[in-house]
Amino acid sequence: CKKLPHELGWAKFGRGGWRDSVGTALWGEKKQDVLLTGPDGAPGKDADKLDLMLVVRISKTHYDDASRTVQGRPCVLILPRDKSALLLENGHFWLSKEQIVKVYHLVDDKQFEKAFNERSNNLAFALTMNPADVRATSYIAPRNKLTASEWGHLIFMAEFSSTLTELELSNAGQVPLELRVQFAKALFASD
């Protein structure tokens, strides 16, 4: 898509009207195919095509080439199937790893709720807290050193919890700088 996510009404995890806007911009009349809930209440047949969002680098030559768009859908950019834009491997064309800037996994509400509950339960067990308290607290003070897995749960909770805003590290053991940075980024991203 030639537009930036915020130009299509981005909402965290691709929620709200974003999927509808992307469907219109990229699928046109077939946008119902990518919606999570179609007119009959069931997911569209291609709803899984928006489970990931890739931010990629494309050459300016290809990006600015009007002949590479689809009539009536100027947000669609079709890259040439040649080595000037893509890698050829096993008869298929691929973006190189260097062209992929970031991959976002956009989860649906049920998957998110399941992951959130599972992680908060695991974190509650590690912190010897009630899972409901972990989900509702704004402040966590670990009593013991956290394992890498527990840090993963904590970073996930910081990123996706609307309540967790502080972490006391005095008893958490030697905390690698990378984990502190990830935790800080997660807190910042949840604002």
Residues 35-59 have pLDDT tens digits of 877 777 788 888 888 888 889 999 9
Instruction: Label residue 60 exposed, middle or buried (CB < 10 Å: 0-12, 13-18, 19+).
Output: exposed
pLDDT score recorded for residue 37: 78
Tell me which of 34 and 134 has the higher pLDDT.
34
Cα–Cα distance between 122 and 168 in angstroms, integer?
A: 19
Q: How many residues does the chain have?
A: 191
CB of 147 within 8 A of CB of 154?
no
Closest residue by Cα to residue 79 from 97, 100, 98, 64: 64
Share of the chain above pLDDT 90, in %: 20
pLDDT score recorded for residue 68: 92
Is the pLDDT confidence value at 13 over 70?
yes
Cα–Cα distance between 110 and 107 in angstroms, integer?
A: 8
What's the token pair of residue 88? Answer: 């050829």
Is the pLDDT confidence value at 25 over 90?
yes
Is the pLDDT confidence value at 76 over 90?
yes
Is the pLDDT confidence value at 27 over 90?
yes
User: Which of the four pLDDT bands, split at 50, 70 and 90, describes residue 15?
Assistant: confident
Is the sign of the CA dihedral 157, 158, 159, 160 positive or negative? positive
pLDDT score recorded for residue 190: 43
Instruction: Label residue 151 exposed, middle or buried (CB < 10 Å: 0-12, 13-18, 19+).
Output: buried
Q: Give the tens place of pLDDT for each residue, 107-163.
A: 666 777 777 788 888 888 877 888 888 777 666 666 666 777 777 777 777 666 666
Largest CA distance in the chain: 61
Q: How many CA atoms lie less than 13 Å away from 123 in the CB half-sphere?
A: 26
What are the C-alpha distances in Å from 159 to residues 81, 122, 137, 163, 188?
38, 16, 14, 10, 8
Q: Give the tens place of pLDDT for each residue, 156-188.
A: 776 666 666 666 655 555 555 566 666 666 555
What residues form DSSP beta bridges with 94?
A: 87
pLDDT score recorded for residue 191: 40
pLDDT score recorded for residue 74: 92
